[in-house]
Amino acid sequence: MSELQDVGYNAPSTSDGDLVRATIQGDRRAFDVLVRRHQRLASQVAFRLVGNSDDADEIAQEAFCRAFTKLKSLTQPQRFGGWLLRIVSNQALNFRRGRALRQTFRLADMGGSEDPERAEVSLPDKRAQGPDEVLAGREMADRIGEVLAGLPEKQRLSLVLFSMEKLPQKEIAEMLEISVEAVKWHVFAARKKLKQELKEYL
């Protein structure tokens, strides 16, 4: 602990493992640094999975809360980043399932086709749009989220972190505790699945 206090929690040389251990020993300042260090990526990963920045920020915040309460269960403190992203991923999937359930109930409560709310949720005619509009449309974004949610966890995170967040494969491998070759395979398999499921939009 004295070493941490000497160099300062914010020093780049202070590892995640040191910060995790300091937090477990009762110093909340160390966890604040972990939050600042990982908040941006956690929110970005959540956004890729739910498609809304406000929801993504809420999911990331909840993930940090869960991480704090379960910190003692982390057997490899230096792996905090990857462990946190797995929590974020699970939180995002739970959110998507809950949203789908809420939408189902809302649709069930709607009246006939003349209901004005039904008109608001109707999808645009893709034939009236160019390829760019289709790709950028809400339907496409929702479908991508659905496909991502259905991927195995490491495929999902490998694809999001490499193809969308542009992280180096070596860094992803360290975060997910897999080899670089495994990262490459997960990205390949995830991209193949996306192409299969989204071929009607491409």
Single-letter code of the amino acid located at 80: F
Specify the pLDDT at position 121. Answer: 31
Specify the pLDDT at position 60. Answer: 96
DSSP letter for 1, please: -
Domain 1-98 fold: Rna Polymerase Sigma Factor; Chain: A (1.10.1740)
Which pTM was predicted? 0.72
Task: Give per-residue pLDDT as tens, 33-74.
Answer: 999 999 999 999 999 888 889 999 999 999 999 999 999 999
Residue identified by tokens 């704090």 is: 68
> Which whole number is the average pLDDT over 142-146?
80
- The C-alpha atoms of residue 141 and residue 41 are separated, in whole angstroms, by 20
> Which whole number is the average pLDDT over 7-32?
85
Helix (H) or strand (E) holding 132: helix 131-136
Nearest by Cα to 63 from 50, 75, 76: 50
Every domain range in the chain assigned CATH 1.10.10.10: 126-202
Q: Are 101 and 39 in contact (CB under 8 A)?
A: no
In CATH, 126-202 is 1.10.10.10: yes
- The C-alpha atoms of residue 82 and residue 94 are separated, in whole angstroms, by 19
Is the predicted pLDDT of residue 116 greater than 50, yes or no? no
pLDDT band at 143 (very low <50, low <70, confident <90, very high): confident
- The C-alpha atoms of residue 157 and residue 152 are separated, in whole angstroms, by 9
Give the pair of three-digit tokens for residue 72. Answer: 């003692």
Every domain range in the chain assigned CATH 1.10.1740.10: 1-98
